[in-house]
Amino acid sequence: MITMHSATDQNTLVLEATGTLTTTDYEGAFIPLVKGMLTEHGSINLVLHLDPYFQGWEAGALWEDAKFGLEQRHNFKRLALVGGPTWAQWMAKVGASFMSGRFKIFDPQALEAAIAWAKLPEPPAPTPAEVAAAQTS
């Protein structure tokens, strides 16, 4: 099951996952929540907390996760994974290699730190003059 955490605000979506995730979890909760925030903000931060009872994904849910992740890979500014078994963290690292945003794994007890990290403001993009200066030095 996937539920929205109360720390969700503005362009940061905080989700909690427990048990075995199903296609219904993705089609009925995860995808609509993410798409809604993307429609409103263009790009978002996502914190996914895998609680101690998280067991993984059914095959259909894993497929939905992979498809959606690839479709939206440029729309996440920051993605934090909190907790979860080692194999799930490894899978997330592989998926994150296709993303253009930042990715970080946090220990299970570090949910608040993960939320704070996800909400950090992005540094401003360098001006053309700064880029040119950096290239000549």
* Strand duo 2-4 + 12-17: pairing: antiparallel
Give the span between the Cα atoms of 57 and 18, in whole angstroms: 10
Query: For the chain, which residues make up each domain, given as ranges?
Result: 2-136
For residue 101, what are the CA distances in angstroms to 23, 45, 97, 116, 132? Answer: 25, 9, 9, 16, 24
Topology of domain 2-136, CATH: Transcription Regulator spoIIAA (3.30.750)
Q: What is the structure's pLDDT at 133?
A: 79
Amino acid in the structure at residue 109: Q
Q: What is the structure's pLDDT at 127?
A: 77
Helix (H) / strand (E) element for 97: namely none
Could you tell me the pTM of the whole model?
Answer: 0.85
Instruction: From first to last of the 137 residues of the chain, give the pLDDT tens digit.
Output: 999 999 999 899 999 999 999 999 999 999 999 999 999 999 999 999 999 999 999 999 988 888 998 899 999 999 999 999 998 998 888 888 888 889 999 999 999 999 999 999 877 777 788 777 777 76
